Amino acid sequence: MERPRHQGMAKNTCMRWRLPLVCLLWEVAMIVLFGVFVRFGPEADAHWEEEKHQMNLTSDIENDFYFRYPSFQDVHVMIFVGFGFLMTFLKRYGFGAVGFNFLLAAFGIQWALLMQGWFHSFQNGKILIGVENLINADFCVGSVCVAFGAILGKTSPVQLLVMTLFQVTLFAVNEYILLNLLHVKDAGGSMTIHTFGAYFGLTVTRVLYRPNLEQSKDKQGSVYHSDLFAMIGTLYLWMYWPSFNSAISEHGDAQHRAAINTYCSLAACVLTTMAFSSMLQKKGKLDMVHIQNATLAGGVAVGTSAEMMLTPYGSLIVGFICGIVSTVGYVYLTPVLESRLHIQDTCGIHNLHGMPGLIGGIVGAITAAAATEDVYGKEGFIKAFDFTGSYKTRTPSVQGGFQAAGIFVSLLMAFAGGALVGAILKLPIWGDAADENCFEDDIYWEVPEDEESDVYHMHNPDKPASP
């Protein structure tokens, strides 16, 4: 039986000139911009020896490298293995999931070093970078990985690079507004990374709505081994999330506390996810989609508050709630979003990053508003919220208000930016696949033939082939 080749409009998905052109031109641009702007920060520069004398540091261990490098590597693993493998659950889109995530993240971190550098590390015409900048660049790219989850399988690599360029830019602007203008705390990025990334991605996928996507419905599921590959991604995100939320917190107790709170929240989240995954299915069987995703919601939701005095039981409560919200979202909300609002969300990022991100912003606002000198100590209170300089007189409740404002700014940036970028990605020049070819690697990748059974007989010449 022959299968008709192209039911819809035949599309030109050949990347041969488009992808190389974009990659090479943009990389040249990076080199030029790095050449003009980027230099080593004082702790990575060979002048550090003299710097040490000036700063009266007696030991190299005081170099920020030793405070943050282990966390950086954990975050790095989350971005490349965590997000990359989490998205390999589709039966025939593993190359695209891991490979395109690799591509966009590798470009994104370079562009993020520049964008965030201009806003935050710009001194005397130069961007001075150190390990904290690397973490922030990874964070910024994290929000692109989130958005990628919504459009997974439906876009060309060139579209992804274009989206990365714009989203990193908007991320840096939004981050600047929140951290510098509103003086908001968001070390783990509930607002800047997850809320912004999720609603940006959802808006993009809304604009790119494909009415006939059910033509590739058969490829939107998983197979047994692809679900195990995805669990690699899940577990690395889950295990290293304490590093994520503590990576750029203040040295000392803040980093320590952020790790503990995140650990607690994530642990609670696993139990409620399992509970609701089983409860919401007629036969009570667990669903891998929930285990792979909703178990992580607890990490998203303490992104803002983990470094505050949320307390371990507060973290458990947040994780408890988010496991439920996220799992219920997968079961009931995602189908509705697609049928009613035409939002096709491949990985369900609304459940994993959208709602938990919003919850994280709210929890952060409440935790900040509830802060007292009694709980934090006099010095700790000032240090935790950086109530110094022009913010010397800000009170916790005012801080809570600004935190809440940060949520709305992030949402606004996400919707506006997503609409703009979605419109750009809709241009018919980027080589995206036809509806019936979505979710398959064969469009953009050389895919090896699958001859397992043949191979088996070949490598087992002793045994007679089945008749």
Element (DSSP H or E) covering residue 39: strand 38-40
Least Å distance between CB 358 and its own copies? 22
Nearer to its own copies, 200 or 439 (CB): 439
Q: For residues 463 and 455, give the distance between their C-alpha atoms in angstroms, rounded to a whole number.
A: 13
Closest of 183, 76, 169, 182 to residue 118, by C-alpha: 169
Least Å distance between CB 206 and its own copies? 27
Least Å distance between CB 177 and its own copies? 27
For 239, phi then psi, to 5°, come to: -70, -40
Q: For residues 107 and 129, give the distance between their C-alpha atoms in angstroms, rounded to a whole number.
A: 17
* 3-state SS class at 127: strand
Least Å distance between CB 252 and its own copies? 4
Nearer to its own copies, 230 or 343 (CB): 230
Which distant-in-sequence residues (6+ apart) come within 8 Å of 59 by Cβ?
A: none
Q: Tokens representing 171?
A: 């991320």
Q: How far is CA 313 from the centre of its chain?
A: 26
Q: For residues 281 and 278, give the distance between their C-alpha atoms in angstroms, rounded to a whole number.
A: 6
Q: For residues 457 and 460, give the distance between their C-alpha atoms in angstroms, rounded to a whole number.
A: 5
Least Å distance between CB 340 and its own copies? 25
Q: Tokens representing 347?
A: 């990985």
Nearer to its own copies, 291 or 343 (CB): 291
Q: Which residue has the tokens 């002048």?
A: 47
Least Å distance between CB 344 and its own copies? 20
Beta partners for residue 128, in sequence order: 39
Compute how many other C-beta atoms are within 10 angstroms of the C-beta atom of residue 14. Answer: 12
Nearer to its own copies, 199 or 241 (CB): 241
Nearer to its own copies, 70 or 335 (CB): 70
Q: For residues 465 and 467, give the distance between their C-alpha atoms in angstroms, rounded to a whole number.
A: 6
For residue 165, give Cα distances in angstroms to 27, 96, 116, 144, 417.
12, 19, 13, 10, 12
Nearer to its own copies, 84 or 417 (CB): 84
Nearer to its own copies, 159 or 243 (CB): 243
Nearer to its own copies, 180 or 281 (CB): 281
Nearer to its own copies, 177 or 308 (CB): 308
Least Å distance between CB 219 and its own copies? 7
Q: Going along 94-204, which residue ranges are E strands? A: 122-123, 126-129
* 3-state SS class at 124: coil
Nearer to its own copies, 169 or 215 (CB): 215
Nearer to its own copies, 198 or 347 (CB): 347
Compute how many other C-beta atoms are within 10 angstroms of the C-beta atom of residue 244. Answer: 30
**Burial letters 314-342, b for 16+ CB under 10 A, else e:** bbbbbbbbbbbbbbbbbbebbeebeeeee
Least Å distance between CB 51 and its own copies? 8
Residue 77 sits at the vertex; the CA angle it makes with 196 and 248, to the nearest 5 degrees, is 60
Least Å distance between CB 457 and its own copies? 8
* 3-state SS class at 153: coil
Least Å distance between CB 173 and its own copies? 22
Least Å distance between CB 217 and its own copies? 11
